[in-house]
Amino acid sequence: MTETALIVVAAGSGTRLGRGVPKAFAQLAGATVLEHALRDLGWLPARIVVVVPSGYEADASTIAARAGVTAHVVTGGATRADSVLAGLAAAGEVRFVLVHDAARALTPATPFDRVRAALEAGAVAVVPVLPVVDTVRVVDAVRAVDVAAPAGADEALGAIVDRSTLRAMQTPQGFDAQVLRRAYEAAGDARADSTDDAQLVQALGEPVVAVPGDELAFKITTPADAERAESLLSQKEREMDLRTGIGVDVHAFGGDGALWLAGLEWEGQGLAGHSDGDVVCHAIVDALLSAAGLGDIGGLVGVDDPQHAGARGEVFVRAALERLGSEGWTPVNVAVQVLGNRPRIGPRRDEAQRVLGAMLGAPVSVSGTTTDGLGATGRGEGVQAIATALIRRR
C-alpha cells in the first residue's frame, strides 16, 4: 500500500480573481497557478492527484508534466467537498492523505514536512496555521444598504475578538486516510457547506493537531493576491543563484554485506567498500559538494572513519545536505546514470527515485545503461554511477 497521497484541489472557478478562466489556470509570472503549485512537489514521496474543472483535464496533465511531476488528473465537482471526494476516490489505498489548495501556489516544502511528521508521529488530522495579526470585530447587524456608501458602511460593528485565540488555516492539511473517508461519509449532504476538511474530521470527535504554517502559503483569491504572488515570483527569479556539479563513484563487487544501490537493497553480491558501497548515493554527494565548491565525500566524512563502517548511503547524503545548508545552498534536482550489467535499474526506477527524492527533498531522476562489455563494468566486475546536481542559493 502506498504510504501517502497528495490531493491538489484545482477546480475552483476563480470568479473573484477576474481572469476569465478557472483560478488554477490563470497566468502568473509566465506560468499557470497550477504549475507554480506543482513545481516544487517532485521531491514529495506521494501519489499526486490533481482535481480540475471539467474540460481542463488534458491541460492539467500537460501542466503537471511541465512542472516535472507525475500526476493523476481527475474531474472535480460542484463544491470543494465534491472535488476532494473525487480526489479521495482516485487516491486508492493509502495510509495518509494530504489535501492542498492549488491556489496556495507559493507554499514551500516546510509545511509539507511538518504535516507529514505529525502524521507519522500518530496524529490523525493535522493543519498548518498562522496567528491572526489584524484586529477582528464581530458584525452585530447589517443596516440597509446604501449603494453610494463606501464598502462596509452598511455593517454595524460589535465587539473586538481576542485575536490571540484565533488562527488562520492553511494547507496542506494532512489526515489518516481512513479517518478522512469516514468524516466525509458521516457528513453526508452537509459536507457541501464545508470549506475545510479538518472541520469534518473534528465533527467526528477526532482531535486536530496544529503545526506552524508559512507566510508564503497565502491563498491567491483576489487581483491583489495575484499581484503579490507575481511580485514574489519575480523577486525569487532575480535572486535565484544556480550552480551545477558532477560526481562519479565506482565500486567492485565483493562486499560481505547486501547489495545497496540508490538507497535500496537488491539481490546479489554486495559492493566492496568501507561503507555499504552505494555508488549512486556517493556520486550524488560528490555532485552536490562539487556544485557548491565544497570538496568531495572524502573531505566531508573521511574514507576510512570507523564510525562509517558499513554506513548506508543516506548517512552521507544527509551529511552533504547539512554542509550545503550551512553555506546557504539547497538542491533543485539531481540526475544519476548507473553503469553496469547488474542490477537492472528499470524495474525499480520509480522506487529508487522516490527514495532518493525523499532523502534530498528534491526531484531525482535515475537511469541505467551498460558499456557493451567494455571496461570493468562491462565485464561485470562492479558498478559505476555518474550524478549531476543542480543547486540554488536559498
How far is the C-alpha of 245 from the C-alpha of 324, rounded, in Å?
13
Confirm whether residue 254 is marked as ligand binding.
no
What's the confidence (pLDDT) of residue 305?
A: 61
Residue in the structure block whose three cell numbers are 527514495: 355
How far from 381 is each of 184, 262, 374, CA to CA, in Å?
Answer: 56, 18, 11
What's the confidence (pLDDT) of residue 148?
A: 46
Confirm whether residue 379 is marked as ligand binding.
yes
Confirm whether residue 370 is marked as ligand binding.
yes
Contacts of 75 (CB under 8 A, 6+ apart): 11, 51, 52, 53, 54, 57, 86
How far is the C-alpha of 381 from the C-alpha of 379, rounded, in Å?
6
For 113, the grid coordinates are: 514536512
What's the confidence (pLDDT) of residue 344?
A: 93
For 169, the grid coordinates are: 488555516
Contact 146, 201 (CB under 8 A): no
What's the confidence (pLDDT) of residue 145?
A: 43
What's the confidence (pLDDT) of residue 149?
A: 47
Neighbours of 179 (CB within 10 A): 15
Confirm whether residue 275 is marked as ligand binding.
yes
Type of residue at 216 = L
Contact 324, 369 (CB under 8 A): no
Q: Closest by alpha carbon to 174, among 201, 195, 194, 193? A: 201
Peptide bond into 22 cis (omega under 30): no
Confirm whether residue 72 is marked as ligand binding.
no
Contacts of 368 (CB under 8 A, 6+ apart): 337, 338, 339, 340, 344, 345, 346, 349
What's the confidence (pLDDT) of residue 2?
A: 65
Contact 170, 104 (CB under 8 A): yes
Beta-strand relationship, 329-339 and 382-393: antiparallel
Helices 80-91/177-187 angle, 10° precision: 140
Phi and psi at 95, nearest 5°, equal -85, -45
Confirm whether residue 369 is marked as ligand binding.
yes
How far is the C-alpha of 288 from the C-alpha of 321, rounded, in Å?
8
What's the confidence (pLDDT) of residue 171?
A: 97
Segments of the chain scoring below 50 in pLDDT: 1, 144-149
For 389, the grid coordinates are: 546536481
Confirm whether residue 274 is marked as ligand binding.
yes
**DSSP assignment letter at 216:** G
pLDDT tens digits for range 58-70: 999 999 999 989 9
How far is the C-alpha of 36 from the C-alpha of 106, rounded, in Å?
7
Domains of the chain and any CATH numbers: 2-131+163-239 (3.90.550.10), 242-393 (3.30.1330.50)
How far is the C-alpha of 48 from the C-alpha of 92, rounded, in Å?
11
Neighbours of 190 (CB within 10 A): 11
Confirm whether residue 305 is marked as ligand binding.
no
Contact 313, 260 (CB under 8 A): yes
How far is the C-alpha of 303 from the C-alpha of 273, rounded, in Å?
9
How far is the C-alpha of 226 from the C-alpha of 32, rounded, in Å?
11
CA 270 centroid distance within chain? 33
Beta-strand relationship, 382-393 and 242-261: antiparallel
Phi and psi at 319, nearest 5°, equal -65, -40
Contact 125, 179 (CB under 8 A): yes
Confirm whether residue 276 is marked as ligand binding.
no
How far is the C-alpha of 27 from the C-alpha of 153, rounded, in Å?
34
Beta-strand relationship, 71-75 and 167-169: unpaired
What's the confidence (pLDDT) of residue 141?
A: 63
For 351, the grid coordinates are: 522506487
Neighbours of 350 (CB within 10 A): 11
pLDDT tens digits for range 294-332: 999 888 876 666 565 668 889 999 999 999 999 989 999
Type of residue at 356 = L
Type of residue at 7 = I
Type of residue at 319 = A
Confirm whether residue 110 is marked as ligand binding.
no
